[in-house]
Amino acid sequence: MITIDCTASIVVYDNPARMLRAAVESFLCCSLDTHLYIVDNSPHPVLKNVFNDLPVEYHFYGKNAGYGRAHNWAIEHSRESRYHLIMNPDIVIAQGTMERLVDFMDENPGIGMVSPRVLNADGTDQFLNKRYLNVTDLFVRRFVPQIFHPLLKRRLAHYEMRDVGYDKVCDVECIPGAFMLCRMDVLKAVGGFDPRYFMYFEDGDLCRKFQMHGYRTVYYPNATVVHGYERASHKSVKMAMILIANMFRYFNKWGWKWL
C-alpha cells in the first residue's frame, strides 16, 4: 500500500457551511500528498452536501460520539500515511504551513507532535501553549470571573507559557487540540485519543501519552493558522458539566496536582 504524506481529520457538529469550507479548502490547497476525513457528529447528515464537490471522505457517525472518539474513527480507518493532522473546523491554515510543519518533523525524528503559531483573525496570538494542568489553574481559568483575572495575571501567564514566549521553537507539555500534527505510527502506538473523554482534556491526555512513549511535543512558530476559538464551556451549563466530569477523569488518571 502506498504511504502518503499526511492524512487529516476534522470532526464537525452542525457547524456553519462557510466555516467548514474555509477549513477544508485551506488544508487541501497544500502541495503535499494528502487525504482528508470529515467525521460528522451532527444529529442528521445535512452537512454532507457541504463537501459534495470536494475531494474528502465523509463519514456520518450517527450520534454525537464526542471529539476524541470521532477522531479515532478517522485514525483507525485512515489510509497509510507518515503524519496525521487533528484539526478543528474553525481553523484556517496559512499557505505553506503544512509544508513547513512536515519539513520540520522530517528533520526532527524525536518530535512526535507539533503545533504551529495559532492566531486570532486580527493577527494577534492565541496563548494556547500550556504547562501540565493543575486544579488551581483550571479553576481560575474556567470559573473565576474575568474581572478578577488581572489579579491573577502572573499565574495565568505562567500556565500559558508567556514567560517562554511565542516567538521561538520550544517543547510544550500540552499542545492545543485545535491543531495537532502527529506522527501516524506514534499516534497508532498510543491508541489515539482516550475515548472516555467526551470533550475537553483529551488533548492534554494525548500529549502525555506521546511523552510517555519517548517523543517530544513541540511548538513551531514559523508556521501559522487562524483559529475561531469558541469556548463552549463558558456558554453552556451542559458543556460546563462535561468539563467537570472530564476533569475528574484526567486527574484520576494522571494524578491530582493542586498547584
Per-chain mean pLDDT for the chain: 92
Per-residue model confidence (pLDDT) at position 233: 46
36 vs 118: CA distance, rounded Å: 21
What tens digit of pLDDT does each residue of 81-121 get? 999 999 999 999 999 999 999 999 999 999 999 999 999 99
- Output phi, psi for 152, to 5 deg: -115, 20
Strand pairing class (4-12; 216-227):
unpaired
pLDDT category of residue 156 using cuts at 50, 70 and 90: confident
H-helix or E-strand containing 205?
A: helix 202-212
Residue type, 199: M
Q: Count the residues in the chain.
A: 259
pTM: 0.91
- How far lies 153's CA from each of 140, 156, 157, 176, 208, in Å? 10, 5, 6, 21, 26
Q: Find the range with the poorest average confidence among 75-79, 137-141, 255-259.
A: 137-141
Beta-bridge partner residues of 86: 9, 180
CATH hierarchy code of domain 4-254: 3.90.550.10
DSSP state of 147: G
What tens digit of pLDDT does each residue of 232-242 get? 544 577 887 88
Q: Which three cell numbers stand for residue 159?
A: 500556565
Q: Check: CB of residue 114 under 8 Å from CB of residue 218.
A: yes
147 vs 77: CA distance, rounded Å: 46
- Closest of 40, 67, 61 to residue 205, by C-alpha: 67
What residues does each domain of the chain span? 4-254
Residue with cell 468539563: 243
